[in-house]
Amino acid sequence: MAAPVPPGAPRQQPPPPDYNPNYQQNPNSLSDNLQNLSLNRPPLMPNSAPRPSPFLPPPFPSSAPSPPLSRPGPPPPGAFPRPSLPPSGSPPPTLPPNGGPARPTGPPFSQPSPFVSRPPSAGNGVVMGPSSGAPSHGSLAPRLGAHPSPIASSTTPSSVPPSVSTGGLVSNGPPAPPFLGGPRFPPSGSAPQQPLMGPLTIGGARVPPQAPSMRPLMGSSGISAQQRPPFSAAHQGTPSSSAPLQGMPSFSAPPQAMSPPVGFPFGQQMQNQPVAPTPIPGSAQPPTMFGMPPPPPLPNQTTAISPVVGQTGGSLAGSSKIDPNQIPRPVPGSSVILHDTRQGNQANPPPPATSDYIVRDTGNCSPRYMRCTINQIPCTVDLLTTSGMQLALLVQPLALPHPSEEPIQLVDFGESGPVRCSRCKGYINPFMKFIDQGRRFICNLCGFTDETPRDYHCNLGPDGRRRDADERPELCRGTVEFVATKEYMVRDPMPAVYFFLIDVSMNAIQTGATAAACSSINQVIADLPEGPRTMVGIATFDSTIHFYNLKRALQQPLMLIVPDILDVYTPLQTDVIVPLSECRQHLEVLLESIPSMFQNSRTAESAFGAAIKAVFLAMKSTGGKLLVFQSVLPSVGIGALSAREAEGRSNISAGEKEAHKLLQPADKTLKELAIEFAEFQVCVDVFITTQTYVDIASISVIPKTTGGQVYYYYPFSALSDPAKLYNDLRWNVTRPQGFEAVMRVRCSQGIQVQQYHGNFCKRIPTDVDLPGIDCDKTIMVTLKHDDKLQDGTECAFQCALLYTTVYGQRRIRVTTLSLPCTNNLSNLFRMADLDTQFVCFLKQAANEIPSTPPLNLREQVTNFCINILLSYRKFCATVSSSGQLILPEALKLLPLYTLALIKSTGLRIDGRVDDRSFWITYVSSVSTPSAIPLVHPRMIAIHDLDTQEGNESLIPHSIPLSSDHVSDDGIFLLENGQEGLMYIGSSVDSNILQQLFGISSVDEIRTQQYDNPLSKKLNDVTNEIRRRRCSYLRLKLCKKGDPSGLSFFSCLIEDKVPTGGLSYVEFLVHVHRQIQMKMSS
């Protein structure tokens, strides 16, 4: 091939091979998958989130803070969208705008689409928001039909089927786009967008939602910039305004309109938003003002600099109270943002990770793949230290793109392989500078001057760029994929091997976990990649390990038992793992018979460690994915664990002190095992379907080291969990992913990688080994200075991921990000990326939990927040208002997130050990868009879905997480991406109950879809959330007065917690005091 194709020539073929094979054939296929899953893809989310909840109701002072629930909840039956395809097809028509195709698939596929040319959808006219709204309605309809179930959380599984059959559309699928963003916003450049928002908001009520919201994320800064003259250095200045936003009534339009009733604490700056309005939708009363205790804690800062939190109080009554309505809250942008990664040869700061955006790769990589905590790089380590912020990258190399984005291009350099710097081995990228008529080039990473390979030579144009730069993706795109040559292979690319390992101990059988696992696997078999290279194996275990010989020649599967669980082995060299095409029938028969075969088993023991080891031995020659379904504490064999939790409880004195030890792995056995797995490219995912303690702290070491993931279904319910299990499993095998991967991040001179965090195995300091990598996995890369950088230059980061696709192609995905360096502290604050910054901190905190007593850790967390604000106050804020709490616009939500983190599952002491362990594990690989809701969930009102017309997003606007906003006559859904809590007030209109749940009183709750608009709408909302999150929400119903109600209220993090957790307002006061103390000292 080399000959004909000039090196470096991009591959043209559209479908080519590329990328994820998953999608190859049918662009929609991906989408299909998603739909089915009912997962939503997160990427979109960003925006979406915002949109819905434009209005934050007035703030309330609330008391009970509680972290979001991280664990998965019980859930809903899901809609299994198998049918997805069809739907997608049809939808298009319906959805006029872009939405059509894209949507359906929306999230998920977005990825694929890229390649494919999803664009079409875009073509529809709406540039930006392909997905956006217009279609929404249309699309909705179909969807509705499809899944009824989603909504009903409680619904029984049965419901599911129906949905499927309908086929149609899965609700998940096509989400309605939020707003029609497209139209609305002119596609201006990326950055600009925000500004747009600003104006909009201001101007018209129209866009209600976002405007207000903006602030948090993008908005504010943007706005400020545009509208106002830049304020001081800080630029955005929108003051604290942020806080204000919220108040809108639930209805969209109004929000802005709001009258600014009461306090706008921030007076002046606020100009833009006067903050809203009081009006709160139903629930809350007009904002109550909260009194701040101490006087003026937070004065507003007038300075342009940053908004302050408002001190609403100050202005307000002057009473020294903080108006809860005025404090900063996330305000979702409702529309899709268009983002060019570079503009005018300048890196363009990315939109918030949680917003809905469409990226055009103009040199820098899309922020989906890699984003930095600060969008300008401090020249010196001192500057960084002063800021209190940290410098790190979040890398999500296979992230799902938006369907409307251009697919990543595949470049084949033929036998010679991609052009690389001969010194640092960095890959060719748009920032390599060609000199000397193109004969040589300077590496932007190490500065070395390399000879251009002869056949890659090209003359330079007048602008100093190569003449062919725009035709060669590797010279004009921040993300490209290279075809790997033999040089990058130590062996032939491995086949896609999927091995399912199922717990069949007594408990698993009796709780229905085994049956659920078998049926999920049975359904998922059809979704595995087609082709001769797809291999499958199956094994079960209790106190022994049972393999199955699936060879076609046999009349029926042969069960092979490995009884020695202290020193395991594989019972067959071949035939345990066979090509899928040869064993479908046997597999089906087997999966159907497993639950009954062990029906009478009385074996309570579970040899988890031995079983995975044995399976590993069988997979050793190829590597592959091992999916384990575990239901009880592994009690025997290799790596047996004990019920430490109970032991800890019985020994209270030791327990108290050493409680966090329970979050550490019990011993090294599993770790050693995991390292061995990783070495042979075996990636382990563990699905824990249990009703008891299983010591996730120990078990999670395996997936964590092998690039896998833990799924946790607690307490497992045979009624409602199988749907989630199926959807999770399906997404697990269908999402874009790669095998036997190696990743390395290279940085320009002056910066180096300090450490990698995430789910992988590290054998040498520079690289991470990823037996499996998929679109959901994110790796945090912390950076450190080893030299000064030059102001005005750019500093580049390049992530190279070498992996094998599920169809056996070896690829190198190279993602390059080049950011300007600065010596200006205020630039750092201005360019700080809140989401990334916070998520990095979240991951680090999670990492510390097992080794640090919780109280210390909370203090650390708080100090992190305080230090940043202190630095800002000290060096960037005007001196004037020492009495005010001043927040940098970009980071104004930091206190809220920090508070949420303190109250999160992981940092709580009163939670179950396994819940905390799971939280820690989940956080270690979670992507930025999913991390935020995990800590700071979204709450929406659903009793009035009907009346919320005018909101173009399917999902209603979110409500502040405060009990003031929860009324007894309402129904609220609170979701964190993992589970959704549906709270039903005690005095809900029975009519609504009847419509939603088919019951007349709160006492008989069950969920199901009923044929009426309200119910359908709820379904749609749920599915939309699932789709966007790429996660099947586990729905739980909560009622006031019982434990489920308590768990709901514990998620309202703005509330004060009786046991000592501060309310949001109190926390702000606390932060302010600390800053003042430090300032004065």
Partner 1 sequence: MSEMANTDPEGIDGVRMTWNVWPRTKVEASKCVIPLAASISVIRHHPDIPTLPYTPLRCKTCSAILNSFSRVDFTAKIWICPFCFLRNHFPPHYSLISETNLPAELYPQYTTVQYTLSDPNVNPNNPMNAAPAPSASPVFLFVLDTCMIEEEFGFVKLALKRAIGLLPDNALVGFVSFGTQARVHELGFSDMSKVYVFRGSKEISKDQIMEQLGIGVSGRRAPTGYQQKGMQNGFPNTGVARFLLPASECEYTLNSLLDELQTDQWPVAPGNRASRCTGVALSVAAGLLGACLPGTGARIIALVGGPCTEGLGTIVSKDLSDPVRSHKDLDKDAAPYFKKAVKFYDNLAKQLVSQGHVLDLFASALDQVGIAEMKVAVERTGGLVVLSESFGHSVFKDSFKHIFEDGEQSLGLCFNGMLEINCSKDIKVQGIIGPCTSMEKKGPNVADTVVGEGNTTAWKMCGLDKSTCLTVLFDLSSSERSNTPGTVNPQLYIQFLTSYQNPEGHTLLRVTTVTRRWIDSAVSSEELVQGFDQETAAVVMARITSLKMETEEGFDATRWLDRNLIRLCSKFGDYRKDDPSSFALNPCFSLFPQFMFNLRRSQFVQVFNNSPDETAYFRMLLNRENIANAAVMIQPSLISYSFNSLPQPALLDVASIAADRILLLDSYFSLVVFHGMTIAQWRNMGYQNQPEHQAFAQLLQAPQDDAQMIIRDRFPIPRMVVCDQHGSQARFLLAKLNPSATYNNAHDMAAGSDVIFTDDVSLQVFFEHLQRLAVQS
Of the ranges 551-559, 897-905, 956-964, 998-1006, which one interacts with partner 1 (CB under 8 A)? 551-559
Is residue 1004 within the footprint of partner 1 (CB under 8 A)?
no
CB of 369 or CB of 598, closer to partner 1: 598
In this structure, what are the phi and psi dihedrals at residue 875, rounded to the nearest 5 degrees?
-105, -15
CB of 570 or CB of 804, closer to partner 1: 570
CB 718 → partner 1: shortest distance, Å?
22
> Which residue of 14, 563, 950, 1013 would you call a contact of partner 1, by CB under 8 A?
563
CB of 318 or CB of 563, closer to partner 1: 563
| Closest to 478 in 3D by CA, of 599, 608, 339, 611 | 339
Please say whether the beta carbons of 41 and 35 come within 8 A: no
CA–CA distance, 46 with 35 (Å, rounded to integer)? 19
> Which residue of 381, 572, 604, 643 would you call a contact of partner 1, by CB under 8 A?
572
CA–CA distance, 411 with 400 (Å, rounded to integer)? 20
CB 636 → partner 1: shortest distance, Å?
11
CB 524 → partner 1: shortest distance, Å?
22
346 forms beta bridges with: 343
| Closest to 126 in 3D by CA, of 96, 105, 171 | 96
Of the ranges 485-493, 540-548, 707-715, 850-858, which one interacts with partner 1 (CB under 8 A)? 540-548
Is residue 558 within the footprint of partner 1 (CB under 8 A)?
yes
CB of 590 or CB of 806, closer to partner 1: 590
> Which residue of 12, 13, 573, 1059 would you call a contact of partner 1, by CB under 8 A?
573
Is residue 571 within the footprint of partner 1 (CB under 8 A)?
yes
Is residue 381 within the footprint of partner 1 (CB under 8 A)?
no
* Number of chain residues interacting with partner 1 (CB under 8 A): 25
The two tokens of residue 682 are 């075996």
Task: Give the DSSP per-residue string, 722-762.
Answer: HHHHHHHHHHHHHSSEEEEEEEEEEE-TTEEEEEEESS-B-
> Which residue of 567, 656, 791, 968 would you call a contact of partner 1, by CB under 8 A?
567
CB 1054 → partner 1: shortest distance, Å?
56
Please say whether the beta carbons of 702 and 139 come within 8 A: no
> Which residue of 5, 9, 202, 560 would you call a contact of partner 1, by CB under 8 A?
560
Displacement of CA 147 from its chain's centroid (Å)? 24
Cα torsion 510, 512, 513, 517: sign: positive
CB 565 → partner 1: shortest distance, Å?
8
Of the ranges 44-52, 372-380, 549-557, 715-723, which one interacts with partner 1 (CB under 8 A)? 549-557
CB of 607 or CB of 934, closer to partner 1: 607
CB of 597 or CB of 659, closer to partner 1: 597
Of the ranges 550-558, 703-711, 968-976, 1054-1062, which one interacts with partner 1 (CB under 8 A)? 550-558
Of the ranges 280-288, 367-375, 592-600, 718-726, which one interacts with partner 1 (CB under 8 A)? 592-600
CB 550 → partner 1: shortest distance, Å?
11
CA–CA distance, 146 with 876 (Å, rounded to integer)? 54
Please say whether the beta carbons of 307 and 240 come within 8 A: yes
CA distances from 561 to 541, 546, 548, 611 (A): 9, 4, 9, 11
CB 603 → partner 1: shortest distance, Å?
8
Please say whether the beta carbons of 226 and 288 come within 8 A: no
Of the ranges 50-58, 146-154, 250-258, 590-598, which one interacts with partner 1 (CB under 8 A)? 590-598
CA–CA distance, 158 with 161 (Å, rounded to integer)? 6
CB 148 → partner 1: shortest distance, Å?
37
Is residue 569 within the footprint of partner 1 (CB under 8 A)?
yes
Locus of tokens 């890959």: 427
Q: Around Cβ 764, how many Cβ atoms within 10 Å?
A: 9
Displacement of CA 954 from its chain's centroid (Å)? 20
Q: Is 354 helix (H, G, I), strand (E, B) or coil?
A: coil
CB of 556 or CB of 986, closer to partner 1: 556
> Which residue of 435, 526, 554, 1077 would you call a contact of partner 1, by CB under 8 A?
554
CB 545 → partner 1: shortest distance, Å?
9
Please say whether the beta carbons of 277 and 87 come within 8 A: no
Q: Around Cβ 879, how many Cβ atoms within 10 Å?
A: 8
The strand pair at 971-975 and 938-941 is best described as antiparallel
Task: Give the DSSP per-residue string, 647-672.
Answer: HHHHSHHHHHHHGGGGGS-S-SHHHH
CA distances from 464 to 96, 309, 461, 545, 818 (A): 44, 47, 5, 65, 18
CB 990 → partner 1: shortest distance, Å?
51
Of the ranges 567-575, 880-888, 940-948, 1067-1075, which one interacts with partner 1 (CB under 8 A)? 567-575
What residues contact residue 1021 under an 8 Å CB cut-off, 6+ apart? 151, 940, 942, 945, 954, 955, 956, 973
- Please name the helix (run of DSSP H) or strand (run of DSSP E) that holds residue 982, with its range, or none: strand 979-984
Of the ranges 37-45, 368-376, 565-573, 987-995, which one interacts with partner 1 (CB under 8 A)? 565-573
CB 532 → partner 1: shortest distance, Å?
20
Is residue 637 within the footprint of partner 1 (CB under 8 A)?
no
Of the ranges 346-354, 558-566, 889-897, 981-989, which one interacts with partner 1 (CB under 8 A)? 558-566
The two tokens of residue 13 are 């073929």
Q: Is 763 helix (H, G, I), strand (E, B) or coil?
A: coil
**For the chain, first and last CA: distance in Å?**
70
| Closest to 917 in 3D by CA, of 277, 70, 20, 119 | 70
CB of 546 or CB of 744, closer to partner 1: 546
Is residue 606 within the footprint of partner 1 (CB under 8 A)?
no
CB of 542 or CB of 685, closer to partner 1: 542
CB of 561 or CB of 909, closer to partner 1: 561
Is residue 604 within the footprint of partner 1 (CB under 8 A)?
no
> Which residue of 12, 555, 1059, 1081 would you call a contact of partner 1, by CB under 8 A?
555
CB 558 → partner 1: shortest distance, Å?
5
> Which residue of 25, 165, 437, 574 would you call a contact of partner 1, by CB under 8 A?
574
Is residue 585 within the footprint of partner 1 (CB under 8 A)?
no
Of the ranges 215-223, 243-251, 553-561, 625-633, which one interacts with partner 1 (CB under 8 A)? 553-561
CB of 636 or CB of 885, closer to partner 1: 636
Please say whether the beta carbons of 301 and 283 come within 8 A: no
> Which residue of 435, 561, 909, 1046 would you call a contact of partner 1, by CB under 8 A?
561
Is residue 575 within the footprint of partner 1 (CB under 8 A)?
yes
- Burial pattern 495-521, b for ≥16 Cβ within 10 A else e, equals bbbbbbbbbbbbbbbebbbbbbbbbbb
CB 572 → partner 1: shortest distance, Å?
6
| Residues numbered 472-491 forming contacts with partner 1, rule: CB under 8 A | none
Is residue 597 within the footprint of partner 1 (CB under 8 A)?
yes
* Length of the chain (residues): 1081
What is the SS3 string spanning 716-728?
Answer: CCCCCHHHHHHHH
Contact residues toward partner 1 (CB under 8 A) are 544, 546-547, 553-564, 567, 569, 571-575, 593, 596-597
